[in-house]
Structure 1
Amino acid sequence: MDALYIGIDVSRDRLDVAATSPSVAAFHLPRNHDGLADLVERLKPLGAERIAVEATGGFETVVVAALAAALLPVVVVNPAQVRAFAWALGKRAKTDPIDAAVIARFAEATRPDLRPLADAETEALADLVTRRRQIVAMIGAENQRLKRASARTAKSIRRLLKALEKELTGIDQDIDDSIRRSPNWLEKVELLKSVPGIGDQIARTLIAELPELGTLDRRQIAALVGLAPWTRQSGQWRGKSFIGGGRAAVRSALYMGALLAARYNPELKAFRDRLVDQGKPKLVAIIAVARKLVTILNALIRDNQPWHELKA
């Protein structure tokens, strides 16, 4: 028999489920406690090769946790890749049942690897890191508004900025407390910070949002965060390679780390300068530094050695 692949489209209130086999009828359930329990019971006896759930801004987290707890082979797939796959199939319509079927076919075509999922503590830390990022973005937006605000509006903006800065301090304290309660996380933070250019916020983002760090090879970890270059060529034509996909928040953190490392890390500065001397655009050189940086950090966690010991 052909392997069975299941696709689940997750929305705020509903789960739509489809399979690659016509013998398994599509169905939908509410996204609540009873619906998740029913989902597990219905999927367990099917013996699916993979159960693919599309990342939907956090709605998928409880679904993935329920399936993983039942030891079902669940994977989270990138919605941009699924949508591109749908267009390739000629699926222009977009409804939840159609999306579930496309997700199932995407899983069948790509056969994504199963990876260990973050535990509850890591998920909680990731939520705090995400919230911190949102508050920082709000502070930036309000500061931009302040530059062109009238005197009366400026007073309101300053009050809001004061509240946001207080909230940011509280979030930072919560993140610090979480890290200190976990000796394993604390050790990883120190290992990552041993690399010049990596500070507290970048290290914490990597721990919270890239739990696979240290468990994959250098190509896999670069691809996971969207730093692996995609080659474009056809016949004699050669297009520029580009990056994309992956985890945008992690990629942004690594980009900031690369900017700092290209200034303060002697090896990575020399690497960046060599690329620029070869005629590479500065942005391309920094992205290459970010890719090299994540492979270094991956090796630090894998080998449990700080930067200077690894270099020695």
Structure 2
Amino acid sequence: VRDFARASGRLAKTDQVDARVILHFARAMRPAQIPHIDDGRIALAALVTRRRQLIDMAVAEKNRLEHAPQAVATLIGETLAALKSQLARVDAAIALAIEAEPDMAARRDLLLTVPGIGEVGAAVLIAELPELGTIDDKKLAALVGVAPVAHDSGTWRGQRHIAGGRATVRCALYMATLSAIRCSPAIKAFHKRLRAAGKPPKVALVAAMRKFIVMINTIIKRRTPWSEPQQHGC
């Protein structure tokens, strides 16, 4: 909306100006309605965010521990123990929050049938990608940030890169895809075929991420568990 205001020549920013710009933007762009997010999912999203914060703090403390003198290392150890304890409590709260909502519990059960997705990955997808199973594959790929963006002009064709999307969901999908490449015959074969065709490692991985989230979208949409021949456990 701010970029829209600048493009319209409105550089000033006050509450009244913002209100007029938002109205103008809505009339011109007609943005899609945001899906209703119930209180249970909002609470789950807060817990998932807190879990990520605890992990980040623990990583930072472990990095400090490497070069800390003994007196400081003891204090860092106490902080790490407290973070570990709180992380266990948050994990338990996430499990209870999902179990308390039948729809979220059903989604979790479906997601846990997908190779490469565990309790944490399922919680991230449920909390931070509520559109999963309700929008088409291309929109979902763009929403996650794994859709290649064209950069062309006239006859010139630029290299396509992914851009935008929800970084936290993309990170969870990245980790799940790495696991799926090892233990899902379908994703493994797809990734191997791209590498054999000469695609760079990152390009092949992003393409596998895109295929993976599309397949997940299908099972949530159809409400059918993941199924593939010769499926191996992770």
Structure 1 residue 287 corresponds to structure 2 residue 206: yes
Distance 1:229 1:305 in 2: 28
Distance 1:208 1:126 in 2: 5
Match of 1:192 in 2: 111
Distance 1:149 1:264 in 2: 40
User: TM-score w.r.t. structure 2 length?
Assistant: 0.89
SS in 2 for 1:133: helix
1:122-150 CA-partner distances (Å, limit 9, x unpaired): 11111111111111111111111111222
Contact 2:115 2:184 in 1 (8 A): yes
Among 264, 277, 282, the alignment partner of 2:183 is 264
Distance 1:222 1:98 in 2: 34
Range with greater deviation from structure 2 (99-108 or 291-300): 99-108
Structure 1 residue 201 corresponds to structure 2 residue 117: no
Pairwise CA distance, 1:93: 5.7
User: Map of 1:246-257 to 2, 5 A cutoff?
Assistant: 246-257=165-176
Contact 1:191 1:301 in 2 (8 A): yes
Match of 2:89 in 1: 170
Range with greater deviation from structure 2 (146-155 or 158-167): 146-155
User: TM-score w.r.t. structure 1 length?
Assistant: 0.68
Pairwise CA distance, 1:189: 1.1
Q: Which is richer in strand?
A: 1
Structure 1 residue 117 corresponds to structure 2 residue 36: yes
Structure 1 residue 211 corresponds to structure 2 residue 130: yes
Q: Percent identity?
A: 48
Contact 1:85 1:106 in 2 (8 A): yes
Contact 1:300 1:310 in 2 (8 A): no
The count of aligned residue pairs is 230
Distance 1:148 1:221 in 2: 43
SS in 2 for 1:275: helix
Distance 1:243 1:110 in 2: 23
Pairwise CA distance, 1:187: 2.1
Gaps of 5+ in 1: 1-81
Q: 1:85 to 1:171 in 2, by over 3 A?
A: same
Among 212, 221, 224, the alignment partner of 1:302 is 221
For 2:129, the aligned partner's letter is L
Among 64, 69, 82, the alignment partner of 1:145 is 64
Distance 1:100 1:239 in 2: 38
Match of 1:156 in 2: 75
Distance 2:198 2:18 in 1: 44
User: Map of 1:1-312 to 2, 5 A cutoff?
Assistant: 82-89=1-8, 98-308=17-227
Distance 1:145 1:100 in 2: 46
SS in 1 for 2:98: helix
For 2:164, the aligned partner's letter is G
Q: 1:227 to 1:109 in 2, by over 3 A?
A: farther
Gaps of 5+ in 2: none
Contact 1:129 1:175 in 2 (8 A): yes
Contact 1:258 1:287 in 2 (8 A): no
